[in-house]
Structure 1
């Protein structure tokens, strides 16, 4: 299956777009003749058995099969001006005058293979629309207000199951929320409660919940990824949390956020040294964002450039050595964060002010050059 987040990023940034939806998509795929008998079923009061000729809904591999068919049919159009996620399709154009020709190519391919769309769920020639749960347009990606409304209207949870449901809604928007793990860490003891233990929602929990709602009242607009420009990755670490932010300069030279990420430290990770926690933060961020950064130049920013300090040790700890080896596939450059430029960057540091380490080491180096020295 394609990665939904990268498809959302690829779909954003278009001047005009058309949103399409397959009409009972699964039922448009023929079942192999030898497998038709495997779908036989019988209805009460009917004579004989019935067999599916087209792929029914409910099969375990139905989604993957349909996606594979779409990839085969539109293989030369996907990534150029079209994105296809199962039966959700978007045709976008950077220039308004190109959109009609793009739609013509797409419709000709559909007609050739006998695919049908649901006209009630299609929108043509729009400047913004919903794709995979988010609102996309030329300026970037926005949170669907229906998603935030569901969180705003949620009552304080009264049991563990309701809390899990609430956090599930919040986690769907995690890439929009700076240091989400830090904001929700107060709920961790409640999630670890056993059945016989009492669930107590106190003022501390309510305060954290209110802070999340205030943040989501005005969530940021995430920027679409631009080709040919360097990416900037800001990382931080604290006693219990690691966090990061991927950003990029727009055409006006203003830094805009592409992705927020964070997670709690678990188990032995909480006992790592501050230097190791920062290395872990970089490793986790690069692993999570590998589809964004793998073929691009990335500048790593942190107040303390301790990464080179760790990598230049004659003998690397086993886990740090593993992280260093994994990072060699990326084009990373480190720069000390001495000056903060841009309101978004300042906001990130304010959100993670307790996460920032303050040891200053004036180093500028790439990982590959460090490893070449050993």
Structure 2
């Protein structure tokens, strides 16, 4: 099974390499590691006054494919045949594998002052001094484990921010109006 390679545009104008892994995904034994429920994040952040959102750079590409399995995700381009050495986008188990990795790296922080949802890491604290220590500890731990942040997508030391479709602030958690409007303004089906 060798697949074709193509690109799709990202929000920032850059391109993401893509491969249609549907056939492989259909025969893959599913990893059932759970993604966290957003409700649990909302429970954790009660009483927090300061927030930081970190975005991990090239998230899935930070995970090495098990040696010997590279042939399973081979692809062709006009320039030749290639095999990924790292986890590409589109594999059915990629989200679960990556979530487990980041949860393990930050295991002693998750639920205390960190919430992880795939490549989005939320740091929350009761005050600015504590928050600076928390952010420093998280960033250092990520770096020690070769997980890098995409600075242009991060927000540091905010008293209010959008995270996973919610606006977080010290005394309120609300739906992000932009996300809510997208649902409310969705056209009614005609057929």
TM-score (ref. length: structure 2): 0.76
1:17 paired with 2:51, answer: yes
1:143 paired with 2:175, answer: yes
Superposed displacement of residue 11, structure 1:
3.0
CA separation of 1:15 and 1:154: change in aligned 2, threshold 3 A: same
1:27 aligns with 61
1:132 paired with 2:149, answer: no
Map 1:202-213 → 2, pairs under 5 A: none
Per residue, is there more strand in 1 or in 2? 2
1:159 paired with 2:187, answer: no
CA separation of 1:27 and 1:159: change in aligned 2, threshold 3 A: same
CA-to-aligned-CA distance 1:187-218 (integer Å, 9 cap, x gap): xxxxxxxxxxxxxxxxxxxxxxxxxxxxxxxx
CA-to-aligned-CA distance 1:1-26 (integer Å, 9 cap, x gap): 22222123323531111111111211
Superposed displacement of residue 151, structure 1:
4.3
Cα distance in 1 for partners of 2:47, 2:169 equals: 6
1:96 to 128, 150, 155: 128
CA RMSD of aligned residues (A): 1.6
CA-to-aligned-CA distance 1:104-147 (integer Å, 9 cap, x gap): 11111111111111111100000011111111111021111112
CA separation of 1:147 and 1:37: change in aligned 2, threshold 3 A: same
CA separation of 1:35 and 1:141: change in aligned 2, threshold 3 A: same
CA-to-aligned-CA distance 1:129-187 (integer Å, 9 cap, x gap): 111111111102111111232345445x2525xxxxxxxxxxxxxxxxxxxxxxxxxxx
Aligned to 1:142, the other structure's residue is in SS state strand
Per residue, is there more helix in 1 or in 2? 1
- In the TM superposition, structure 1's runs of 4+ consecutive aligned residues that sit over 4 Å from their partners are none
Contact 2:44 2:112 in 1 (8 A): no
1:76 aligns with 108
Map 1:267-306 → 2, pairs under 5 A: none
TM-score (ref. length: structure 1): 0.40
Cα distance in 2 for partners of 1:12, 1:90 equals: 13
Cα distance in 2 for partners of 1:70, 1:158 equals: 40
1:8 paired with 2:42, answer: yes
Cα distance in 1 for partners of 2:113, 2:73 equals: 37
* Larger of the two Rg values belongs to structure: 1
CA-to-aligned-CA distance 1:51-101 (integer Å, 9 cap, x gap): 101110000000000001011111001011111011111111112220111
* Higher RCO (CA 8 Å, separation ≥ 6 residues): 2
Which runs of 5 or more structure 1 residues have no equivalent in the other structure? 161-374
Cα distance in 2 for partners of 1:13, 1:130 equals: 17
1:105 aligns with 137
Contact 1:21 1:117 in 2 (8 A): yes
